Amino acid sequence: ASGSDENDVVVIGGGPGGYVAAIKAAQLGLKTTCIEKRGALGGTCLNVGCIPSKALLHSSHMYHEAKTTFAKHGVKFDNVSVDLAEMMGQKDKAVSTLTKGIEGLFKKNKVTYVKGHGKFLSPSEISVDNIDGGTTVVKGKNIIIATGSDVKGLPGITIDEKRIVSSTGALALTEIPKKLIVIGAGYIGLEMGSVWARLGSEVTVVEFAPDIVPSMDGEIRKQFQRLLEKQKMKFMLKTKVVAVDTSTDIIKMTIEPSAGGDQTELEADVVLVSAGRSPFTSGLGLENIGVETDKIGRIPVDSKFSTNVKGVFAIGDVIPGPMLAHKAEEDGIACAEFIAGKEGHVDYDKVPGVVYTHPEVASVGKTEEQVKELGIAYTVGKFPMLGNSRAKSIDDADGLVKIIAEKETDKVLGVHIMCSNAGELIHEASLALTYDASSEDIARTCHAHPTLSEAVKEAAMATYDKPIHI
């Protein structure tokens, strides 16, 4: 392979961080090779993360809507049922089409793709155990580590990906569990819990902390939990998993209050462990070249994504910062730009976060709790979706928009949106934060009618003045 010639850039890992960095580097005229061990590009996100989960969220939402709301809209049919194999097939097709699409982008941009596991021999030499056998040495003036993250297990619980599953197994169950226990109320647990609850599973979410999605604005979080409870998801917060017994047909889980106390037992057909993700550097040979990692295994980098070893960079889930695909992509672009001698820029304070349940919850910037803690004087404007004509017209009016602005200047500090398509609506807020806009700037921007986005405008009006429609 031409991967054995000297490259300007070698990227280890073909996830959203790595493949985007490789394409950008090639676009900037640098000779680039990307090494990926999975046999498919797109990383966690495309193969076992963002994309398959969104495919199943959409399919399960359609089923749930067909069962629960179509009749109200005058759309009637006699029988609705789930063909799980077909549903999984649709998801798999989406994944494989997109994966091949990235291979196409590599060809178009002349990125060399080496399939295998990469390991540092020196700061400029990577030995690759090829998937098809044999070993190749790939050389590069600059190396970008984009090896991402992996499922974090829990002590004493063995994941078999059949009955005790990680998110990967939860995306590929062959039967709808009657009872599903989700350990961990982060966004992945809630999204996967939603999928199976919609398809008919009785879902219980067990969480050690007192709250679901700890990064979320408190007020939004409370309403969000209530809406999920209305969808029949059960929450056991401040609860610790003590033991999981899989010796019988029904899994038995022993739990106790996080603070200690009486133990009780729960039963399940399937248990999903979604207690977070860990940076992945296993078998990478970091020790061979002296790249440092922190206490939890992340690779610290400077403002130009350089590790402590010259010529070796790191991006995405394997470095500190939000563990999200779009953040990894931004890292990848900026890192390639720095290597090419240009300027790059990523602002981790303005990375939007989205939970793709129904309704979706999207946020960017600071929560009210964070603003309070920083001692900033602030104003809050809120607008409920009940006052939004589009939401009412489609009978999908759960949720609200909340904007937090600096009292003195009206500068927008944080925006939190809970409604259908909140993940699409959030970007005008991201832009507002990027340009240091005020809530009045958003309110005086003409928004099309009737759209859900008008709720953002009205929340902005409520921040510095008064809304019209509530």
Q: Enumerate the active-site residues.
A: 449
* Percentage helix, strand, coil for the chain under 3-state DSSP, each rounded to 5: 35, 25, 40
Q: How far apart are CA 70 and CA 84, in angstroms?
A: 21
Asked if residue 18 belongs to a known ligand binding site, the reply is no
Asked if residue 243 belongs to a known ligand binding site, the reply is no
**Residues that bind ligand FAD in the complex, under the rule CB under 6 A:** 12-18, 35-38, 43-45, 49-50, 53, 117-118, 146-149, 167, 188, 280, 283-284, 316-317, 323-326, 328, 356
143/284 with CB nearer ligand FAD: 284
CB of 85 to ligand FAD, least distance (A): 20
Do the Cβ atoms of 459 and 436 come closer than 8 Å? no
Asked if residue 149 belongs to a known ligand binding site, the reply is yes
Torsion on CA atoms 413, 417, 423, 427, rounded to nearest 10: -40
Torsion on CA atoms 225, 231, 237, 240, rounded to nearest 10: -150
CB of 70 to ligand FAD, least distance (A): 27
CB of 313 to ligand FAD, least distance (A): 13
Q: How far apart are CA 459 and CA 463, in angstroms?
A: 6
Asked if residue 191 belongs to a known ligand binding site, the reply is yes
Q: Which amino acid is at 416?
A: H
Asked if residue 101 belongs to a known ligand binding site, the reply is no
CB of 119 to ligand FAD, least distance (A): 6
CA distances from 402 to 208, 370, 411, 430 (A): 28, 14, 14, 14
Asked if residue 406 belongs to a known ligand binding site, the reply is no
Give the largest Cα separation in the chain, rounded.
Answer: 69
188/233 with CB nearer ligand FAD: 188
- How many residues comprise the chain? 470
144/455 with CB nearer ligand FAD: 144
16/381 with CB nearer ligand FAD: 16
Do the Cβ atoms of 212 and 204 come closer than 8 Å? no
CB of 129 to ligand FAD, least distance (A): 9
126/371 with CB nearer ligand FAD: 126
Element (H, E) at 35: strand 32-36
- Going 306 to 307 to 313 to 314, the CA torsion angle's sign is negative
Please give the annotated binding residues, written as ranges: 54, 118, 147-149, 184-191, 207, 276, 317, 323-326
Please give the annotated binding residues for FAD, written as ranges: 54, 118, 147-149, 317, 323-326
Please give the annotated binding residues for NAD(+), written as ranges: 184-191, 207, 276
